[in-house]
Amino acid sequence: MGKLFGTDGVRGIANQELTIEMSYKLGQAGAYVLTKEKKHKPTILIGRDTRISGEMLEAALISGICSVGANAVSIGIVPTPAVAYLTRLYNADAGVVISASHNPVEYNGIKFFNNKGYKLSDQLEEEIEDIILNDSEKLEFPIGTKIGRVKHKKESITDYIEYAKSVIDINLEGMKIVIDCANGASYVSAPETLRQLGAEIFIIHNEPDGTNINKKCGSTHMEDLQQFVKQVGADIGLAFDGDADRCLAVDEQGNMVDGDQIMAVCGLYMKNKGLLKQDTIVATVMSNLGLFIMGKEKDVNIEQTKVGDRYVLEKMIEKGYNLGGEQSGHIIFLDENTTGDGLLTAIHLLDALKHSDKKLSELANVMEVLPQVLVNAKVSNENKYNYLEDKVIEEEIKKLEDKFHGEGRVLIRPSGTEPLIRVMIEGKDKEVLTKEANSLATLIENRLNI
């Protein structure tokens, strides 16, 4: 797989790129790097999403962890943010999630959290990579009583639900909510939490069978949710992705409310209550221009980072901000959790909606979403970082930047998790944007797949 870690852990097609051997080695190297300073026998928490390859990879990962003398605690199918929270709650030395988030079922991934529930720094990831790829450190393999043990703690999801309920003092009685669980890790926690908070709940895509995660459902395919919200006359629809670290919404008219709009609604609500630290929201370069325009109008500072929730988080920690995220619905409420948390995002949005005298469509109109077209160019992982070395591609990008200067923008970036280069163009005329984005994506594919 070359460089192992992308923007969100190690990810690839399970049993082809992300093999049992790789999972085993990640267990060994990850356990060693994250716990080598410990004087006691370390404990590592492991959670996974619903995809069929999860059990296989978990078995290999646990074997690797135990082989270097660390204990493993399997907490079963839980959202990614639950692992971040429970690692802290249980005083574990590290946490691991086996998930490929919003990707199709054939993919899987492995990402680590340190004992504070934060994703790893580049430096720690490089240290793990170096052990796996270059044997940079000689690992010790204990024998006898010093080998690690495995425990199974299936009641952990209840601890996460109780925490989510405690974050905001809110009663959702009288609210009608549709939830799309993406046949993924939120299928227990999201409906149960909102039901216990008093809402009337309708649930779709919450029958995971190992093969249907993210399949025409969840935050990447919202058509069913949009239709069902209108059908039952719900106040709001909520869509999670496969590992439930993302949440997008649908208003009462069936219109999508994306992560930028959710941050705008929640950010203004928090600002009005004096809870938005330094009146700042942290967004990425992919966020819609409308969010930045809203910020100027409402006196909210919008900071920008590279794409990837880890970079949003770094900026938040560095500057002391407490709200940030991505258009995809990966939103961090840092006062409450250390990573994107779809359920907490939903609760914050519901809190803002409940305490307004408006419908969600009215709240979301606080920012105008400018047309934005995103087209993926399929390019091999080996070639996806080479687009700037191709003069023809470079010249075409420059032409487009000149064309949209002043009333739009062009953003080209390799995906951190898939063999793709993302072409995003923003402006006023969607038809023109679509034509230009498709044309550039085709050129990139033709030039880099020779």
- Residues carrying an active site annotation: 101
Question: Are 220 and 228 in contact, with CB atoms under 8 Å apart?
Answer: no
Nearest one of 186, 225, 214 to 102, comparing CA atoms: 214
Distance, C-alpha 440 to centroid of its chain: 27
Tell me phi and psi for residue 327, to 5 degrees: -55, -30
Structure tokens that stand for 78 in this block: 């839980």
In 3-state terms the chain splits into helix, strand, coil percentages (rounded to 5) of 40, 20, 40
Q: How far is CA 66 from CA 18, 74, 99, 273, in A?
A: 20, 12, 21, 48
For the beta carbon of residue 371, count every other beta carbon within 10 angstroms: 18
For the beta carbon of residue 171, count every other beta carbon within 10 angstroms: 10
Strands 200-204 and 236-240: unpaired
- How far apart are alpha carbons 314 and 307 in whole angstroms? 12
- How far apart are alpha carbons 57 and 109 in whole angstroms? 9
Question: Are 165 and 336 in contact, with CB atoms under 8 Å apart?
Answer: no
63 contact partners, CB below 8 Å, separation of at least 6? 24, 27
Q: Residue 309, SS3?
A: helix
> Bridge partners of 237?
178, 250
Query: Is there a binding annotation on residue 101?
Result: yes
Side-chain half-sphere exposure of 118, counting CA atoms within 13 A: 14
Query: Is there a binding annotation on residue 241?
Result: yes
User: In the chain, how long is the greatest CA-to-CA distance?
Assistant: 69
DSSP label at residue 277: G
Nearest one of 251, 289, 287, 242 to 417, comparing CA atoms: 242
Query: Is there a binding annotation on residue 299?
Result: no
Rg (CA), the chain: 22
Query: Is there a binding annotation on residue 357?
Result: no
Question: Are 239 and 248 in contact, with CB atoms under 8 Å apart?
Answer: yes
**Residue 411 host element (H or E):** strand 409-414
Question: Are 148 and 68 in contact, with CB atoms under 8 Å apart?
Answer: yes
> Bridge partners of 374?
424
State the alpha helices, DSSP H only, in 68-109. Answer: 80-89
Q: Which residues are part of a known binding site for Mg(2+)?
A: 101, 241, 243, 245
